[in-house]
Amino acid sequence: MSQRQVLQVFEQYQKARTQFVQTVAELATRPQNIETLQNAGVLSLLRPLLLDVVPTIQQTSALALGRLANYNDDLAEAVVKGDILPQLVYSLAEQNRFYKKAAAFVLRAVAKHSPQLAQSIVDCGAVDMLVICLEDFDPGVKEAAAWALGCVARHNAELSQAVVDAGAVPLLVLCIQEPEIALKRIAASALSDLSKHSPELAQTVVDAGAIAHLAQMILNPDAKLKRQVLSALSQIAKHSVDLAEMVVEAEIFPVVLTCLKDPDEYVKKNSATLIREIARHTPELSQLIVNAGGVAAVIDCIGNCKGNVRLPGIMMLGYVAAHSENLAMAVIISKGVPQLAICLSEEAEDHIKAAAAWSLGQIGRHTPEHARAVAVANVLPKLLSLYMDTESSEDLQVKAKKALKNILQKCTHLPALEPLLHDAPPNILKHVVGQFSKVLPHDSKARRLFVTSGGLKKIQEISADPGSPLQEYINTINNCYPEEIVRYYSPGYSQTLLERVDHYQPVLS
Amino acid sequence: MATLERLRKEMSDLIPEFFRQCRAADENRLAEYNAAVVIQSWFRGSRVRAHLRHLNRMVNVIQKWWRGYLARKYFRNKVKTAYFIMKMNFYNDMAVRIQKMWRGYYVRKYVHNYYALKKYLEGVAIKNSLVRKELEEYATMREKEKLKQDLEKEERRKNYEARKMHYLLSTEQVAGVFNSPYRQYPDEMEFRLQRARPLSHRDLPKKSNDSDGFVDWSDCRHPFSFPTTSLLPPINKKKPQGPFRDVGEVLQQRYKPLEPTLKVATSFTSVEEAREEIKRQEWAKGFQDVMFAPFASFHKNKPYEPLIHTSTEYKRIPYGNQNFRVEEATKWVTKKRASAFG
């Protein structure tokens, strides 16, 4: 045998290996193949190939593993159990950039499934290696590492703390400043995941100077980057007043409002969320948003979109209105109430309706003027029907009732209250009648109108327990009218009149 | 004398009378005495009673005055406190009135200024309309840009298409596909074809093969695919004369990438260049061109620092530093030999 023949054997073997890993990697892209691959014991076959002498094979086998682990958490767990992670982590420091990328992909695919799997990633020391990869020259490697770190940090505060302790934050902040859009995007998303768990973590991110860079990128034309940036800012701002103020101080204000007009739905949603998280903390911050015209922009945004994208905007209006009556008035004059009324009737999902009901309650609860503005938009019957509807969720019913009560206790706009007299249940009726009993003694025109519109008749038909507040209110109303009128409208009065006719003896001359 | 005479005459009558009278007096003495006692007791009693009555009347007077004095004093106090309370109530009322006015004024002026509030809300409304308008403008601008970009993209696509289909251009004799003789005007594509430059074969995009077999599949965005076979050599119309080698082989030979050996690939002066480069790097990194002289040999003059344990007063003689027989006479305990030598 010649030397050539000997070498040919090796060549064939290498070709076969290459073809095997490439085929497996390609098969792993289709979900229907995964189970077959798993049953064929693909993991144990791929594991030795991770240590192959040929870099291409190593890289491709890592890629195949990543795709398998990406598919579901059973496979990810199998990857963890198969002791593959230490090999990956070991070689993460050694190999070329393609291998690093593939290895980071595997780590990401494992970490994304559950906190336990992410914890196992942390336990095998991968986080430190990933942080080292963040310092790599190649943007692709950085991107993969940042993504993996984000997936680890996403689950809970301890895992985020582990990532922060490994020193990832300053490097991620550096990654945001890189020119590559994809890297920026992933780094911003990782920062968002890091800072969402606790104020301390958010403070760490802020201390690394992330806010200024994030705020600069709000104007970036790339929609996906904008999404992540806005999400990161809102995750930072949500924890405390100080953090929210720091976010505001980065002069995001007129700029964020343009994002509310973005064609991308998620950009809209995230920017509304950011505004909501800032408005939530103090009246001063809300005031600042109102002064910047944020309320009008949010209201327009609510009008332009549908479904879940509306939710943060709706809640933002509620938070702003809850702080003080002036702010609630600002929401009213920004034409927020009609928009919320539209949301209340248009939206199909209960939680959005509940949010709209809550916001309306917050707007209407301050003064009679506020309540009037809400009542004029014809919201009360809608709220009542939501409260009475048996198909509404419990939360929606509670919110609708609370809102109704808040508004009714301040409402003196009688025309809006009248329809409620006819179809409200006793616990709501109490408030409605109470409002009538407060207004009628002082307003003669309203008294007249109340009789002609049939309200008095309705009042007489209410059967209240003697001594209950409802009965007291009814008595107060009855005292505003002459005896005969009250008796005339009492049920059964015609009967008594007829009886009197029967018993009457005509005087014959 | 006559009287005396008369007395003598009457003497005889007188003596019995005297005796009778004395007896009568003795007989009545007790009764009279008792009567006197009764009279005296009554009289004395009357007098004492009168005195007591007098005293009582005096006491009444005194008490009347005293009680009157006390009552008046009490009353005066009572009136004083009542007056004080009334006064305080009045003052409080007035204070409340003043405070009410002041607070109302203050709140209206500084805290809840109705007009300021109105103005603020108007300002907010104006700001809102401004923001709405600006955002509207921004959105329309974005839309226009998007539209423009789309149009440009479409235009580029069509142009590329035209370049690709340049062979469909009509000639003088034969009308092309887009230039139907049954129509009044040729299709728009026809003009595009006229303007377009035909796509040459050389412009075909070359496969970038710079990663030496490593392909970046880690982002799962592109599906993996096997490497396609290389391009076939162009088909020749006629067979060339002569015993030539296979065309494919020749082309392969010609377009084979240059694979120089390491020796050839490396520059002849690479060592010198590298040295120069290192020098330049050092020069660029250094803060000073001249080395700082005093510290140049600093590390050489560093004294040996012994361990703390071993640095006693009575040091060990450093092994073999001079010779093995050196003696330090100063450290001897006895002076015997020192004196002997000295």
Average pLDDT for B318-330:
66
Q: Would you say A403 and A358 are in contact if contact means Cβ atoms under 8 Å apart?
A: yes
Q: Are the Cβ atoms of A296 and B131 closer than 8 angstroms?
A: yes
Q: What is the model's pLDDT at position B212?
A: 44
pLDDT > 60? residue B228: no
**What is the arithmetic mean of pLDDT over A223-251?**
93
HSE (side-chain half, CA atoms, 13 Å) at A227: 14
Q: Across residues B322-329, what is the average pLDDT? A: 67
The shortest C-alpha distance from A458 to chain B (Å) reads: 39
- Top residue of A334, A335, A337, A369 to mutate, by most chain B CBs within 10 Å, is A334
Domain that residue B26 falls in: 9-112
CB contact B211 to A (< 8 Å): yes
Average pLDDT over residues A352-360: 94
Q: Does B160 share its domain with B206?
A: yes
- B217 to A63: CB separation less than 8 angstroms, yes or no: yes
A327: closest CA among A361, A376, A291?
A: A291
Is residue B338 assigned to a domain? no
Q: Does B103 fall in a domain? A: yes
The answer to whether the beta carbons of residues A65 and A50 sit under 8 Å apart is yes
Residues of A in contact with B211 (CB under 8 A): 98
Touching check for B278 and chain A: CB below 8 Å? no
From the list A26, A261, A300, the residue facing B224 with the nearest CB is A26
Mutate one of B138, B218, B224, B228 to test the A interface: name it (highest A CB count within 10 A). B218
The predicted pLDDT at position A2 comes to 78
Show which of B216, B244, B278 is a domain's final residue: B216
Mean pLDDT on B16-35: 92
- In eight-state DSSP terms, residue A50 is T
Whether A450 has a pLDDT exceeding 60, the answer reads yes
Give the Cα separation of A32 and A93 in Å (integer).
34
Is B262 within a domain? no
Confidence at B144, pLDDT banded by 50, 70, 90: very high
Least confident interval from A320-324, B120-124, B139-143, B193-197 = B193-197
pLDDT tens-digit map of B71-92: 999 999 999 999 999 999 999 9
Report d(CA B323, CA B211) in Å as an integer.
68
* Average pLDDT over all residues of chain A: 91
**Is residue B97 in a domain?**
yes
Residues 231-260 of chain B with CB under 8 A from chain A are none
Nearest-by-Cβ selection for B218 from A101, A296, A326? A101
Chain B from 142 to 171: CB within 8 A of any A CB = 142, 146
Tens-place pLDDT, residues A73-126: 888 988 888 888 888 888 887 778 888 999 999 999 999 999 999 999 999 989
B191 falls within a domain: yes
Better-predicted residue by pLDDT, B70 or A307: B70
Q: Looking at the predicted structure, is the pLDDT value of residue B304 above 50?
A: yes
| pLDDT confidence bin for B206, thresholds 50/70/90 | low
pLDDT interval class at B285 (50, 70, 90): confident
Please check whether residue A220 touches B, CB under 8 A.
no
Nearest Cβ partner of B216 from A56, A140, A330? Answer: A140
Q: Flag whether residue B138 sits within 8 Å of chain A, measured between CB atoms.
A: yes
Contact state of B135 with A297 under an 8 Å Cβ cutoff: yes
Nearest to B224 among A29, A258, A300 (CB): A29
Separation of alpha carbons A237 and A253, rounded Å = 13
The angle, 0 to 180 degrees and rounded to 10, between the axes of the packed helices A73-81 and A84-94 is 80
User: Can you read off the two tokens belonging to residue A242?
Assistant: 């100080």
Lowest average pLDDT, out of A311-315, B126-130, B203-207, goes to: B203-207
pLDDT at A153 over 90: yes
Say yes or no: B118 contacts chain A, CB-CB below 8 A.
no
Q: CB distance B142–A290 less than 8 Å?
A: no
Q: Which of B132, B216, B223 sits opposite A98 (nearest CB)?
A: B216
pLDDT for position B297: 63
Query: How confident is residue B205, by pLDDT bands cut at 50, 70 and 90?
Result: low
- Is residue B235, in this structure, part of any structural domain at all? no
In chain B, which residues have their Cβ closer than 8 Å to the Cβ of A272? Answer: none
Q: How many other CB atoms sit within 10 Å of the CB of residue A231?
A: 25
Whether A261 has its CB under 8 Å from any CB of chain B: the answer is yes
Is residue A509 scored above 50 in pLDDT? yes
Residue A155 pLDDT: 93
Question: What pLDDT, on the 0 to 100 scale, is given for residue A109?
Answer: 92
Which of A128-132, A415-419, A503-507, B216-220 shows the lowest mean pLDDT across its residues?
B216-220
Q: What CA dihedral angle connects B22, B23, B28 and B30, to 10 degrees? A: 90
CB contact under 8 A, A98 and B218: yes
% of residues, chain B, pLDDT over 70: 75
What confidence category does residue A27 fall into, taking pLDDT thresholds of 50, 70 and 90? very high
Measured in angstroms, the CA of B141 and the nearest CA of chain A are apart by 11
Residue B223, pLDDT score:
47
CA distance A166 to A129: 9
pLDDT mean over B19-30: 92
- Quick count: other Cβ atoms within 10 Å of Cβ A279? 30
Size of interface A-B (CB pairs under 8 A): 87
- For residue A337, name the pLDDT band (cuts at 50, 70, 90): very high
Provide the shortest C-alpha distance from residue A57 to chain B (in Å). 10
B240 falls within a domain? no
Q: Are residues B138 and B201 in the same domain?
A: yes
The confidence score (pLDDT) of residue B208 equals 47
CB contact under 8 A, A98 and B220: no
- Chain A residues whose CB is inside 8 A of the B218 CB are 63, 66, 98, 101-102, 104-105, 140, 144
Last residue of a domain, one of B166, B201, B216: B216
Query: What confidence category does residue B209 fall into, taking pLDDT thresholds of 50, 70 and 90?
Result: very low
Query: If you average pLDDT over every residue of chain B, what do you get?
Result: 81
How confident is the model over B151-168, as pLDDT tens digits? Answer: 999 999 999 999 988 888
**Which pLDDT band, with edges at 50, 70 and 90, does B227 fall under?**
very low
pLDDT score recorded for residue B46: 96
How far does A459 lie from chain B, in Å, by closest CA?
A: 38
Residue, of B59 and B210, whose pLDDT is higher: B59
Residues of A in contact with B224 (CB under 8 A): 22, 25-26, 29
Query: Residues of A with CB below 8 A from B132's CB?
Result: 293, 296-297, 300
Mean pLDDT, range A129-141, rounded to an integer: 90
For B211, which residue in chain A has the nearest alpha carbon? A98
> pLDDT category, A254, cuts 50, 70, 90?
confident
| Counted domains in chain B | 2
Tell me, yes or no, whether B105 and B145 share the same domain.
no
B214 to A56: CB separation less than 8 angstroms, yes or no: yes
Percent of chain A with pLDDT over 90: 59
Same domain? For B42 and B102 the reply is yes
The answer on B132 and B91 residing in a single domain is no
Are B51 and B106 contained in the same domain? yes
Helices (H), ranges, A54-96: 55-71, 73-81, 84-94
Asked if A50 contacts A84 with a C-beta cutoff of 8 angstroms, the reply is yes
Question: Do B89 and B158 have their domain in common?
Answer: no
Place of tokens 């992330």: A210
Q: Tell me which of B186, B216, B246 is where a domain ends.
A: B216
Q: Name the 3-class secondary structure at A67.
A: helix
B90 in contact with chain A, both atoms CB, cutoff 8 A? no
B218 close contact with A: CB closer than 8 A: yes
Q: Does B255 reside within a domain?
A: no
Q: Which residue has the higher pLDDT, B263 or B131?
A: B131
For residues B74 and B151, membership in a common domain is answered with: no
Judge contact between B211 and A98, C-beta under 8 A.
yes
- Name which of A145-159, A207-221, A336-350, B299-313 the model is least confident about: B299-313
Predicted confidence band of residue B324 (pLDDT cuts 50, 70, 90) = low
Taking contacts as CB-CB distances below 8 angstroms, the residues of chain B near A105 are 218-219
Domain check: are B147 and B203 in the same one?
Answer: yes
**Is residue B23 domain-shared with residue B44, that is, in the same domain?**
yes
**What mean pLDDT comes out for the span B192-217?**
62
Q: How confident is the model at residue A497 (pLDDT cuts 50, 70, 90)?
A: confident
Kindly tell me if the per-residue pLDDT of A480 is higher than 50.
yes
Distance from CA of B301 to the nearest CA of A (A): 40
Could you tell me how far CA A509 lies from the centroid of its own chain? 87
| Nearest CB to A295; choose among B128, B218, B223 | B128
Question: Is B220 an 8 Å CB contact of chain A?
Answer: yes
Distance from the A355 Cα atom to the nearest Cα atom in chain B, whole angstroms:
23
- DSSP for A435-477 reads HHHHHGGG-HHHHHHHHHTTHHHHHHH----TTSHHHHHHHHH
B108 and B129 assigned to the same domain: no
Q: Which residues of A fall within a CB distance of 8 Å from B215?
A: 98
Is residue B33 domain-shared with residue B103, that is, in the same domain? yes
Whole-number pLDDT of residue B217: 46
| pTM of the predicted protein model | 0.70
